[in-house]
Amino acid sequence: MNSAPSLFRPFRLTNTTGTPYLPKELPWRKILWFVWLVCLVAGSTGVVQRFTQGHLPAGYGSYVPWGLWIGLYFHGVGMAGGAFALGSLGYLLGWPGFQDERNLRQVIVLAVSAMLPAFFAVWLDLGHLDRFQNIFLHPNFTSMMAFNAWMYYAFLIIAGVCWFLSYQPNRQQWLKPLLCLAALFSVLFPSQSGAFFGVVDAKGYWHSALLPMMFLLSALTAGGALLMLARILIDASADQPPGPEEQARSHALIGRLRWVTVVGIVGYFVFEFAEFSVALWNPYLHAPALELVLFGPYWWVFWVVHLLLGGALPLGLLASRWRLGWTISALLVALCFLSARLNVLIPGQAVSEIRGLQEAFQDERLRYIYHATPMEYLVGLFAVALGMTAFVVGRRINVAAHRWLDPRSKD
């Protein structure tokens, strides 16, 4: 055999030839600014609505208490954890494209930028915005929510210290050890997100030991895709086109993340198949939440958004040699894996343990049906704009800090 199939061809650091990841003739920087502006302006109307009218324009109620914002929250923290775990692992293991401190700082900024909108979404979901600090002042560690919140807190501090140390060549002996700890936390909190639901015995659909694993795998998959997308967009929107060495690094990083994403998608669907097939194998078994996922009013979220756009299509594109396809896949996975969260979150709540409860006292907030409202979608757009803002600001801080903190820059 003269040449191995492209799927199994070993990756080469110097391989910088081939089609571009994005069409070079398009003004990517302007396009990104436009996307940001649209998200910001449209999203602001939703945020204003939330602050002036409270929860009234939202679609969730007491029987389905969590909606789109909680889905966004878990997706955001999952991507943050996944991106950081991969970026730090790549740095520690010396993967091509991952080894330099500049990339590590970018990974930290990306993780924080994915977390901020997640925190924003969950904050707006609270009944008392002014009491969010209670979770830090009076935590109850039997609650996975408090445990999770403290884990983010610890992670952010350690990641911040790692970011600082990455500028300090004299103190590098602490960087890798601390990075190991941060990597551990970044793996723990997406898994805990699964445990967050798994520990709720009241919901049969959630009460599964597989859920933490599924959340971790989807976090690594979506986080890897986000990392890949960020690198492609940074290169495409740079003032100066990256030099050959920089290009080689990007190519190496994207190549590695491409396979991580492929393995992640396949792994996630294997886990999902295991979960679903066990529940549905017995023809007499009644699994109402699963039936909702597969054939309920939001069947298209599973079949179209999750399976087709978040799974089959990215897999096909990533397996090809078409690099623009890899970019599209990264975007699709980063966006559509939100459906993996929503497919756990909503159907789990939409089934009553007591038959007839919905009819017992009729009210629009006492229904086992949930439809996200325009306000919820608009706040979601604002969260995206917030994440983009945080990433741009973070990158600028990276550059500024380089001048101030890195003694090598003063030479």
Phi, psi of 251 (to 5 degrees): -65, -40
Residue from 31, 181, 234, 313 that binds another protein (CB under 8 A)? Answer: 181
Site string (136-155) toward another protein, x via CB under 8 A: --xxxxxxxxxx-xxx----
CA angle 162/160/70 to nearest 5° reads 125
Q: Which is nearer to another protein, 129 or 270 (CB)?
A: 129
The closest of 135, 128, 55, 123 to 382, measured between CA atoms, is 123
Residue from 270, 273, 312, 363 that binds another protein (CB under 8 A)? Answer: 363
Residue from 203, 249, 251, 341 that binds another protein (CB under 8 A)? Answer: 203
The amino acid at residue 1 is M
* Residue 163 within binding range of another protein, rule CB under 8 A: no
Q: How far is the CB of 265 from another protein (least distance, A)?
A: 27
Q: Is 196 exposed, middle or buried (0-12, 13-18, 19+ CB in 10 A)?
A: buried
* Residue 128 within binding range of another protein, rule CB under 8 A: yes
The closest of 236, 218, 225, 207 to 87, measured between CA atoms, is 225
Report the run of H or E that residue 170 belongs to, with start and end: none
Q: How far is the CB of 89 from another protein (least distance, A)?
A: 10
* Residue 167 within binding range of another protein, rule CB under 8 A: no
Residue from 199, 210, 263, 401 that binds another protein (CB under 8 A)? Answer: 199
What sign does the dihedral 99-103-105-108 (CA atoms) show?
Answer: negative
Q: Is 17 exposed, middle or buried (0-12, 13-18, 19+ CB in 10 A)?
A: exposed
Q: Which is nearer to another protein, 245 or 363 (CB)?
A: 363
Q: Token pair of 188, please? A: 């723990």
Contact residues toward another protein (CB under 8 A) are 54-56, 61-63, 65-66, 92-94, 125-128, 131-132, 134-135, 138-147, 149-151, 173-174, 176-178, 180-181, 184-185, 188, 199-203, 349, 352-357, 359-361, 363-366
